[in-house]
Amino acid sequence: MVVPILPATSAAPPAGGIRSQTGADLRQVALTQFASVGFAATSLQNIADIAGFSKSSVLYHFASKEMLLEQVLTPAIDQLEVVLDRFVTEPETIATRERFVDDFIDFLLEFRLELHTFINQAQSLRGIAIIDRAGLLIVRLAASICHDDASNEDRLRFGFALGGAAYSLVAGMTFLGEATLPDDDLRPALRTVMTELLAPVSVHPRPAHS
Amino acid sequence: MVVPILPATSAAPPAGGIRSQTGADLRQVALTQFASVGFAATSLQNIADIAGFSKSSVLYHFASKEMLLEQVLTPAIDQLEVVLDRFVTEPETIATRERFVDDFIDFLLEFRLELHTFINQAQSLRGIAIIDRAGLLIVRLAASICHDDASNEDRLRFGFALGGAAYSLVAGMTFLGEATLPDDDLRPALRTVMTELLAPVSVHPRPAHS
DNA sequence: AGGCTAGTTGACCGATCGGTCAGATCCTGT
DNA sequence: ACAGGATCTGACCGATCGGTCAACTAGCCT
């Protein structure tokens, strides 16, 4: 017995124009559960209970649990691809790298739950198409940020930026009050730390950026 | 059908003096699985197959799956407590904070799998004694590193240090080749990055430490 | 009114889960 | 030789897993 968070509108949407509100609700619930307790530990029954539907309904809207995961993560991976493509297309200058940091922070704040899901569970979810696609993107991202001649420190900084962001923006809530900050307070601090980690040494730790 | 990695010495340890080699093997296998695919996604059958025993044997050595997790994580949590107590006992100077960073790096390298397990799965494992104890330690750690007047940036740096280390030292292997570095090459890079994140601004980004 | 389609559901399936229990098996002390 | 404890295992249990299926409902078009 779980009290439904979303009352399911009693199976009768007021206007037919609404496109699959149920599917969106289920995706949102699934994302929250996947990010907080993990994909393997989240059952379809669990998702259905929270959303106020039956397990059969979940499987009506999504062909399988894996397909649900794919649809949940796809918008985030698409956006990450856009951000990365924009970065690698341009000539590399301090300005373009700083704009990449800004783009990346926007991505982090919008898709923090998706990031946490595929960053911290990639190994157990190998073989699922969207996860493998995300993995390739991460490799491309690493290669673009760290050149061939990058030092071990710089490669480590990239890993810290990725794993640190995923942890601080989601899991950090478990222990710290950080993530309860409104995004507007979080963004400048995030920009400072991410710049330290991702911008080359030519940018000083606390730059007076544009 | 899983080929056992550890041949189980055919149920006859050569000398009776060896204290529970089987238990140690099982703990090692369990730790690897918990860290790589997650606690929820790891079944006792899975652990037993890899270790070359039956599921019943696992439950003979450990009262339950949760007790196995506790025994797997306890040495790491104990060591983290030692490191933290040593830091908070001493007066805070640049030197003591730098030594804390060194102690912490030693901890990270020795217990990287344990760290990754309880950092990235704490939310789904709440209620298990060792996890709650680890959580309290993390809170104490945060309070010791970040004082009451710490900036949002510094609090974020602490989260990045924790989550970044857990990711870079374990999950990073999925995408990057970093963690395949031998520890001796990894340690100085880790020291540089961790110092940037955990040492106050009075220590410059690349200090010529002792 | 009468079909059509989309949405929702309970009943059900085989597989696997964590866990229990009654034996085997084997080493050791006497 | 024999008893006893430690170790290991297969058979089994109830619960839950992801997934299938037929039926039911409700709006919509003609």
In which band, very low, low, confident or very high, does the pLDDT at A177 lie, cut at 50, 70 and 90? low
Give the tokens for residue B23: 């238990």
In which band, very low, low, confident or very high, does the pLDDT at A200 lie, cut at 50, 70 and 90? low
Per-residue pLDDT tens digits for A43-83 = 999 999 999 999 999 999 999 999 999 999 999 999 999 99
d(CA B121, CA B40): 9
Nearest nucleotide by C1' position to the A10 CA atom: C8
d(CA B54, CA B44): 9
Q: Phi/psi at B191 (nearest 5 deg)?
A: -65, -45
Per-residue pLDDT tens digits for A100-142 = 999 999 999 999 999 999 999 999 999 999 999 999 999 999 9
| C-beta atoms surrounding B14 within 10 Å | 7
Map tokens 């493509």 to a residue.
A85
3-state SS string for chain A: CCCCCCCHHHHCCCCCCCCCHHHHHHHHHHHHHHHHHCCCCCCHHHHHHHHCCCHHHHHHHCCCHHHHHHHHHHHHHHHHHHHHHHHHHCCCCHHHHHHHHHHHHHHHHHCHHHHHHHHHCCHHHCCCHHHHHHHHHHHHHHHHHCCCCCCHHHHHHHHHHHHHHHHHHHHHHHHCCHHHCCHHHHHHHHHHHHHHHHCCCCCCCCCCCC
CA of A205 to C1' of D9 (A): 61
User: By the 8 A CB rule, do B38 and A38 touch?
Assistant: yes
d(CA B85, CA B140): 10
pLDDT reported for residue B203: 44
CB contact under 8 A, A175 and B120: no
Mean pLDDT by 10 residues, chain B (210 residues): 45 45 94 96 97 97 98 98 95 91 97 96 94 94 85 90 94 66 89 90 43
d(CA A71, CA A137): 17
Q: Which of A32, A131, A167 best probes binding to B when mutated, by most B CB atoms within 10 angstroms?
A: A167
d(CA A136, CA A141): 9
In chain B, DSSP assigns E strands to none
pLDDT reported for residue A13: 42
Per-residue pLDDT tens digits for A4-28 = 554 444 434 443 334 578 999 999 9
pLDDT reported for residue A146: 86
CA of B200 to C1' of D18 (A): 51
Of B181, B188, B193, the CB nearest to A157: B193
- For the segment A147-172, the average pLDDT, to the nearest whole number, is 88
CATH superfamily of A8-62: Homeodomain-like (1.10.10.60)
Q: Does B120 touch chain A (CB under 8 A)?
A: yes
